[in-house]
A and B are shown apart, each in its own frame.
Chain A
């Protein structure tokens, strides 16, 4: 089924906190840039990510993967974003709580990215994809902030 949602959304005006475009000419491959939210350790960062949509989007969710290094409990070491709304019901790799919010076909690039921005501001350390980051976030905030600050600096130099 041809997906008009993605086309329509591509033509909409950008929202605060991120920008989005296609990686190539493929409507199923998006490149996005998330700006580290203010008043969080990620403030000032420019984080590039790819959103890969399955052919049967929006029945199934896209995969989001950061291209910029980012230290966060819910981003695995390959940069994949692991939050429950990007998983269908029944997919439980990270031990999401039974009542965690799952993928809904009415999500858009915009609502996904807003969730990711809120994830940056408020990590979920109950079902971490990066155990070290979750541990530091919980037990050693200073170390966590220091490692994140490094990512923020690197993101600024790689951004041009």
Chain B
């Protein structure tokens, strides 16, 4: 066996292993969980990890529940999506405003060069979801179920990724300063925003909240500072819902 075939075989083994791990995760964690007691977070970290345990205790004072998302690179959009729908269900004025933004978003995407026939299905899927939210008998459980339907859920993710792109591209002059390693905002969107499964960062949160004109808070649970840090998008706004960020992952927090 020559060196290159050996290397290829090793690559294949590593890939098979990765695929197995991916499947295991997929089967053990739903795309979106039901609400769990926030206390369940503490069990994920060693009891003697003073920084994490301390931060988790201070989370208890403000939040009662956590809704977990699968770690598949789309967690930000699913966490954002369910929170947005739950908020809209409670708030008719916001509902009508956001519905209009989404309804008109297709034309904005077409103006930006996206092909109508390719975005149509994604747009319709999100509009159908919004129409369901409006119905009196729509329960939170039904929304969670919707987000656990892989096809529907991914169509939502695809469309919200496009909205994120749209805001970045429309405000390219501003965002150009924050896209290290990319020639243009357009490239950044093609490489880091639009592919399903690409993880999201600060800049994605700024762009999506900017497009929808919604306000969110992200609580950061990491090893860096002594206290929990919280960021609002946009800054100084009154948040409509809260996400929990841990390095590489977003979940939902509830009071």
Task: Say whether B151 contacts A102, CB under 8 Å.
Answer: no
Task: Say whether B197 contacts A90, CB under 8 Å.
Answer: yes
Which of A8, A89, A99, A104 is in CB contact (< 8 Å) with B117? A8
In the assembly, what is the distance between CA of A47 and CA of B150, in Å? Answer: 36
In the assembly, what is the distance between CA of A103 and CA of B191, in Å? Answer: 9
In the assembly, what is the distance between CA of A131 and CA of B191, in Å? Answer: 26
Q: Which of A98-152 contact B (CB under 8 A)?
A: 99-106, 108, 131
Size band of the A side of the interface?
Answer: 20 to 34
Note all chain A residues with C-beta closer than 8 A to B181.
99
Task: Say whether B151 contacts A1, CB under 8 Å.
Answer: yes
Task: Say whether A101 contacts B4, CB under 8 Å.
Answer: no
Is residue A153 contacting chain B, with contact meaning CB distance below 8 A? no
Interface 1/0s, chain A 75-107, versus B by CB < 8 A?
000000000000011111100000111111110
Task: Say whether B198 contacts A102, CB under 8 Å.
Answer: yes
For A3, A92, A103, A106, the residue with the greatest tally of chain B CB atoms inside 10 Å of its CB is A106
Which of A90, A100, A102, A105 is in CB contact (< 8 Å) with B158? A105
Query: Which chain B residue lies CB-closest to A5?
Result: B118
In the complex where A59-B154, A106-B162 touch, is A101 in contact with B191 (Cβ < 8 A)?
A: yes
Which of A1, A89, A91, A108 is in CB contact (< 8 Å) with B198? A89
In the complex where A99-B191, A106-B114, A106-B115 touch, is A89 in contact with B158 (Cβ < 8 A)?
A: no
Task: Say whether B115 contacts A108, CB under 8 Å.
Answer: yes
Query: Which chain A residue lies CB-closest to B190?
Result: A101
Note all chain A residues with C-beta closer than 8 A to B114.
106
In the complex where A93-B15, A104-B195 touch, is A59 in contact with B151 (Cβ < 8 A)?
A: yes
Residues of chain B at the chain A interface (Cβ within 8 Å): 4, 11-12, 15, 18, 22, 73, 114-115, 117-122, 150-151, 154-155, 158, 162, 181-182, 190-191, 194-198
- 12 A-B pairs whose Cβ atoms sit less than 8 Å apart in the complex: A1-B121, A1-B151, A4-B120, A8-B117, A9-B117, A89-B196, A89-B197, A101-B191, A102-B195, A103-B196, A106-B115, A106-B162
